[in-house]
Amino acid sequence: MLSETNSGDTFEQLALPLIPSLYNHAFWLTRDQAEAEDLVQETFSKALRAFGSFQSGTNFKAWTFRILHNTFLTTRTGIAASRTVFLEDHPETLDTSSGPTPEDNLIRLNNQAALHIALEQLLPQLREVLLLCDVEEIKYKDIALILDVPIGTVMSRISRARRTLRQLLQPQLGESL
């Protein structure tokens, strides 16, 4: 727990650097600039109100992304986000092939339009986990906390998202994938 006297300053120091990442993630979730801005504002409002319960030394970024994710789900569905269940934890979907990883191929990708179109075609839960992992560079265990799913589900979704993204980009990029 944090003391009352510096909790506002501490919150600001921790939160301000996260604004661009939270906005980018919110934009991918909402696909609307105004909604993304509102979602980030609501996230910061909730995070500030709950900051007294944040445990110093834990991952503030994961905690804040969890608030953003839950706020998005609640505003979209009206259902408490922690009760959302996805039945996708299938180990057989894990890609164990060797060779260059999809993220290595994404780094070399010059065609941003093709990438954005392909990302838009992913299922929302696959797109979200891929963005959290490969764009925001959040660890699997923290993604599991953010999305309130088992780590195996995170691994499965990342594998499925990468495989689907590779298939979607194959026609545009040919052998480079």
Residue 65 contacts residue 22 (beta carbons within 8 Å): yes
Query: What per-residue confidence (pLDDT) applies to 157?
Result: 97
Residue 133 belongs to domain with CATH number: 1.20.140.160
Extract the tokens encoding 10. Answer: 């501490």
Between 42 and 3, where is the model more confident? 42
The answer to the question of residue 117 being in a domain is yes
d(CA 67, CA 83): 14
68 falls within a domain: yes
Q: State the total domains in the chain.
A: 1
Residue 2 inside a domain? The answer is no
Could you tell me the residue range of the domain that residue 124 belongs to? 11-80+103-175
Does residue 139 sit within a domain? yes
- Which pLDDT value is given to residue 91? 44
2 pLDDT exceeds 70?
A: no
Mean pLDDT, rounded, for 56-84 = 78
pLDDT for position 132: 93
Is 146 within the bounds of a domain? yes
User: Does 6 map to a domain?
Assistant: no
Per-residue pLDDT at 83: 44
Section 154-168 average pLDDT: 95
DSSP H helical ranges for 31-131: 33-50, 60-77, 102-108, 112-121, 124-130
Confidence of residue 28 (pLDDT cuts 50, 70, 90): confident
Q: 50 lies in a domain?
A: yes
Residue 47 or 76, more confident: 47
Looking at the domain assignment, is residue 126 inside a domain? yes
Confidence of residue 117 (pLDDT cuts 50, 70, 90): confident
Q: Which residues contact 15 (CB under 8 A, 6 or more apart)?
A: 44, 47, 48, 60, 64
The arithmetic mean of pLDDT across residues 6-34, rounded, is: 88
